[in-house]
Amino acid sequence: MPPDELQAAFMVGGVARLALAAIFSLSAAAALRDGPAHAAIVEQYRLLPPWAVPAAARGLPALSLAAALLLLLPATVGAGALLGEALLAAFTTAIGINLARGREHIDCGCGGAGGQSLSAGLVVRNLLLMALLAAALAAPARGRIDWGAVTGILGGGCGLVAIYFAASQLLANRRLLTGLET
């Protein structure tokens, strides 16, 4: 691949890694801010025996933070992307199982908009995040760092985070928005 294409791929990967690290970190921070509430959210999914809920409620934010940190270091991008993929696959599966059970009224526990109920939109959002993780994994972890690259990566990463939270807020308000149509 020519140097310019390698640099462009590095920057795309950098944008993806930065945005995903921020999303995982913010989600973990929301869970850690109110441990008992997060444990109640984990429990409401009804996928774990009651004795396993406290450990899962503590472990999931720790794993999210680990994925975020690993995504930021060039030497550990692969591990971070794979951990992020595993977490998102588990979250998406849990959402899908509960949607299939007809339990869309429960809080997703995503760390975005408070009180966000389960929906097919969350599944789609998570699948898009998984695709972004795949792009981060495929992109070169090292490239030329200059002011243009820093500006592009920071701007793109912040832009993706803003889009993520805007989409999350729209998903959280979907019932209210659909009520306006009638």
Model confidence at 120, in pLDDT bands (50, 70, 90)? very high
113 vs 78: which has the higher pLDDT: 78
Instruction: Kindly indicate the confidence band of residue 113, based on its pLDDT and cuts at 50, 70 and 90.
Output: very low
Mean pLDDT on 82-86: 97
The single-letter DSSP state of residue 139 is: S
Average pLDDT in the 112-139 region? 87
Number of H helices, E strands in the chain: 7, 0
pLDDT at 78 exceeding the cut of 70: yes
Which residue range(s) make up the domain with 155? 3-181
Q: What is residue 180's predicted lDDT score, i.e. its pLDDT?
A: 61
Q: What is the number of domains present in the chain?
A: 1
**Rounded alpha-carbon distances, angstroms, from residue 89 to 11, 22, 47, 166, 173:** 25, 18, 14, 22, 24
- The CA distance from 149 to 82, in Å, is 25
What does the pLDDT read at residue 114? 59
Full-model pTM? 0.89
